[in-house]
A and B are shown apart, each in its own frame.
Chain A
Amino acid sequence: MSESRPTVRLGHLYPDHLNIYADRGNIAVFRRRLEWRGLALEVVETGLGDEIPADCNLYYLGGGQDRDQLLVAEDLVGKVAPLRQAADGGAVVLAVCGGYQLMGHSYVTADGKKMRGTSLLDLETAASHDRLIGDVVLSVNLDGHTNTVVGYENHAGRTRLGPGCTPFGRVDKGHGNNGQDGFEGALSGRRIGTYLHGPLLPKNPWLADILLRWALDHAGAAVELEPLDDTLEQAAHATAAARAGLKR
C-alpha cells in the first residue's frame, strides 16, 4: 500500500448477496483504470450486520436475486445514515439492478410484499410477473457530453421516477425503467442507479472514467485521467450495440 499515490476508496456493499450479474467486473474496471494511471483503489467490503463506512469516495451496490435482496433491504434500511451522509457530501454512488431498486423509496414484490428502500433516489419500483430482458443501448448525457452506453437488462421491477431525479439515459434499444416511458435508470448529482449489467463498466469505459473523475474529485485529488488505449473496449461496445440491433 503506497499511500503517496492518489487513492479512491470504494465501499462495496453486500458483495456476498448482491453479485448475481458479475458485479465484480465493475470493481475490476475501477481498479485497473486507476492502476494503469498510477493511481490506486482501496476496497472496503461491507456485508450483513456490518457498519457502512462514511469516508468512501465511491459506493457500489450490485444486483441480487429477490431472496437476497429482501435480506439486504432489511439490513440496509436501518443503517443507511453514513451512506446518505457521504452521498450528500459528494461521494459517488453506483447502484445496479437490485441495488438500483434499493436506492428508491420502496419495492413491491410480485406477490405483494413491500420492502422499504433507502430513499437515496426519488423513485419507486413494483415487480410485474413478466421480466424485461435483453440488450440495451442508451444515450447518456453526463458532464455536458452525450455518449452511448450498452448493457443487458433482466428485471421484473417497473421503476417510476419522482421529480427528485432525472433518468440516467434515453433508451435507444431495450426496455428501460418500465418498458413504457423510454427512459432508463436514475441520476441525481453523483448518484446513479441503472438496470444495466453485462457488467456495465467494461464495455463503457467513458462512463467508468467519469465516475472515477468524480470520485477523485471527492477524494480531493486534483489529477487528470490520461486517456487509455480502449480499442478492445470499443470493439466489445460495438458488438453489444450491434447485438441490440443498433447499427453503428
Chain B
Amino acid sequence: MTAHIRWTERIDDCLMKRPSLPHWLAAAVARTAGRLSRLLGRGGGTTLPGLLLNRLRPQATEEMARAVPNGVILLSGTNGKTTTARLVRAALDESGARVVANTAGSNLERGVATALLNTPEPDIALFEVDEAALPTLVQQTHPRVVVLMNLFRDQLDRYGELEHLAQKWRSVVADLDPDTILVYNADDPGVAEIGAEHPNSVAYGIEDPHLGRETLPHAADNTNCRRCDSPLHYQMITIGHLGQWACPACGLIRPQPDLIASNVEFEGMDGQQIAMSTASGPIDVSLRLPGLPNAYNAVAAVATAIAVGITPTTISAALAERGAAFGRAEHINVGTRRVTTLLAKNPAGANENIRMVLNETHPLHLLLLLNDRTADGQDVSWIWDVDYELLLEGDRLKSLTLGGTRAHDLALRFRYAVGGTTDFSVRPEPAASFETAMAACGAGGRVYVLPTYTAMLDFRRVLADRGLVPEFWEDE
C-alpha cells in the first residue's frame, strides 16, 4: 500500500513538472555542495545547501520539521530577531536540549532548510524568520510556537509596504493551528491587534515608567488605530511606535501583557538588569547587552522559553551568560582602542543605536557604514528618517567617518542636517574607512561603528584581514 502511494506521489510530481529526488539523495547532494562551497572559499555555506535541497525535494523542510520531537519555534519581526533567537537558544542549551537553529542569520526558507539538513536528530528547532518568509515557513514547519516581535519601517524596496506585511501576518495568525502558542509584543499596536486574535497567546511588554519618551520619533509607523484610523494615544512611548497605547475614539487598547518588564536598569554599553513579572512568578535577568531594544529582546526570549516549558531559574542563568550576537553591540579591541559595533538597517534600529551611543561618557568617534546590497535594502532613503541630528547637539561628536558603498548618501544626510556644519570624512572603501576612523580616534579611545548588515560583514573582513577577529562562519 505504501509503495503504491509513493508511486502515485511520484507520478503526481512528474505531472506537475516538479522533480523530487528521494530525501537521502537530495540531502547528500545538498550537503556536498555546502562542503564544496566552503572549501572553495565561497562563503559559510549557510544558504546554498538549503536552496539546493528545496529545489531537489520541495517537501524536504516539512519532512525534517515534522521529525523534530519537541517541535519548532519560529521567531519574526523587523528588529531583534537574531539577538532574541540567540537568547532563546541559550535557555534551550542550558535546559540540556539539542537544538537545531539558523544562528548565522540566514533567515529565509533556504537558511532553515540548511540548518535542518546539518543538524542530525535535534530535540527542538528554533528559527529566526524573515518577516516576508513567515507565511511559507509556518506552512512548512507547523510550528509549536510563533513569536511576533515588531513591525518597523524597513527595506521597503524588498517588502513593499509595511501594510502588506501586516496583512500577510494577519493571515498567518488566522490560519494558525489553535494549539500553536503565539507569543507577541503587546506594545506594538500593529502586532498586538494581529496577535490578540489567536486563542492560545502570550503577550509581553515593558511597563517601567521611567523609560518613557515624550514624543514619537520622526519615523514612527502605525500611530493610527488599526481599527478606526484615529490617532492613538500613548501613556508611554518606548521605541518608535511601541509603548502603552490606546485608541480614545474606538476604545481599542493594548492587551494586558502576561509577561511584563517592570524595572529596567541600564549599565551603559555593558548591559542591564531587568525585573520581569510572569504568571509563573518574578524573573530577574542580568543581561550582557545594552539598550532598550535588547530589553525587548530579552522579554521576548523569556516569554518564548517559558512557552516551551523552561524554568525561570534556568532562563536567568542562561541569559546572564550570553554575550552579543555577531555585530550587535559587540566589542573588539584594536590595539589600545576599543571598537563597538551596533548594527542597524532601518530608522528604528539606528535611532536606538544613536541613543545608546549618546549615553556613553567617552568622547564620541563614529564610523557610519551604509551599503545598498539586498540584505541592507537597496533603497537607502531610510537614512533621512534617522534622527542623526541628536548626534550634532552640543559638542559630543569628536570625529565622524562615513563609509560603505553609499557613503556619499550619508555625506548628504549630514550636509543637509539641522545644524549641518559638521566635519566628516567620506571613505567608501572598507579598509580606508576603518583606517580613517582609527586615526581620528587616537590611542586609547573608543570608536562606535554603526553599519548596515553587509557593511558590517565588510568591516569584519577588514578586521579579519588584520587578525583581529575570526572569519564569520567560524563564529557559530
Contact = CB atoms under 8 A, between A and B. Distances in A.
Given A135-B378, A154-B156, A203 B163 contact: no
A46 B360 CA distance: 38
Contacts of A185: none
A67 B163 contact: yes
Interface stretch (A82-90, A159-167, A218-226, A233-241): A233-241
B157 A71 contact: no
Contacts of B382: 22
B162 A152 contact: no
Nearest to A237: B408
Given A25-B416, A154-B156, A236 B381 contact: no
A197 interface: yes
Contact of A239 (B157, B385, B408): B408
A203 B412 contact: yes
Interface string A1-30: 000000000000000000111101100110
A152 B409 CA distance: 13
Contact of A134 (B156, B157, B409): B157
Contacts of A32: 415-416, 420
Given A71-B229, A152-B381, A131 B160 contact: yes
B412 A22 contact: no
Nearest to A133: B157
A25 B382 CA distance: 10
Contacts of B66: none
Given A28-B417, A134-B378, A239 B163 contact: no
A108 interface: no
B64 interface: no
A232 B408 contact: yes
B408 A235 contact: yes
B372 interface: yes
A154 B157 contact: yes
B218 interface: yes
A236 B408 CA distance: 5
B180 interface: no
A156 interface: yes
B334 interface: no
A235 B156 CA distance: 24
A243 B229 contact: no
B385 A232 contact: no
B426 A199 contact: no
B416 A29 contact: yes
A20 B411 CA distance: 21
Contacts of B153: 20
B379 A232 contact: no
B160 A22 contact: no
B55 interface: no
B384 A233 contact: no
B63 interface: no
A84 to B, nearest CB: 26
Given A22-B385, A202-B412, A66 B157 contact: no
B389 to A, nearest CB: 10
A232 B218 contact: no
Contacts of B229: 67, 71
A65 interface: yes
Interface residues of B, number: 32
Contacts of B156: 20-21, 154
Contacts of A24: 218, 384-385
Given A20-B156, A232-B411, A202 B416 contact: yes
A53 interface: no
A154 B379 contact: yes
A135 to B, nearest CB: 7
A68 B157 CA distance: 18
Interface string A70-101: 01000000000000000000000000000000
B419 to A, nearest CB: 11
Interface residues of A, number: 33
A236 B384 contact: no
A230 to B, nearest CB: 10
Interface in B402-427: 405-406, 408-409, 411-413, 415-418, 420, 426
Contacts of B157: 133-134, 152, 154
Interface string A194-235: 000111001100000000000000000000000000001101
B383 interface: yes
A99 B417 CA distance: 24
Contacts of B412: 202-203, 232-233, 236
B415 A232 contact: yes
Nearest to A70: B229
A199 B409 contact: no
Given A28-B417, A32-B416, A67-B163, A236 B411 contact: yes
Nearest to B160: A131
A239 B409 contact: yes
Contacts of A154: 156-157, 160, 379
A199 B381 contact: yes
Nearest to B408: A236
Contacts of B379: 133, 152, 154, 197-198
A248 to B, nearest CB: 14
A25 B410 CA distance: 12
Given A236-B409, A239-B409, A25 B384 contact: yes
A25 B418 CA distance: 11
Interface of B: 153, 156-157, 160-163, 218, 224, 229, 372, 378-385, 405-406, 408-409, 411-413, 415-418, 420, 426
* A-B interface, 5 closest residue pairs, ranked by CB to CB distance from nearest: A22-B384, A25-B384, A236-B408, A22-B381, A28-B416
Given A25-B381, A232-B412, 10 more contacts: A19-B385, A28-B418, A32-B415, A32-B420, A67-B229, A131-B160, A199-B381, A235-B408, A236-B412, A239-B408
Interface of A: 19-22, 24-25, 28-29, 32, 65-68, 71, 131, 133-135, 152, 154, 156, 197-199, 202-203, 232-233, 235-236, 239-240, 243
21 contacts: A19-B218, A20-B156, A21-B381, A22-B383, A25-B413, A65-B162, A67-B163, A67-B224, A71-B229, A134-B157, A152-B157, A152-B380, A154-B157, A198-B379, A202-B409, A202-B412, A232-B415, A232-B426, A233-B412, A236-B406, A239-B406
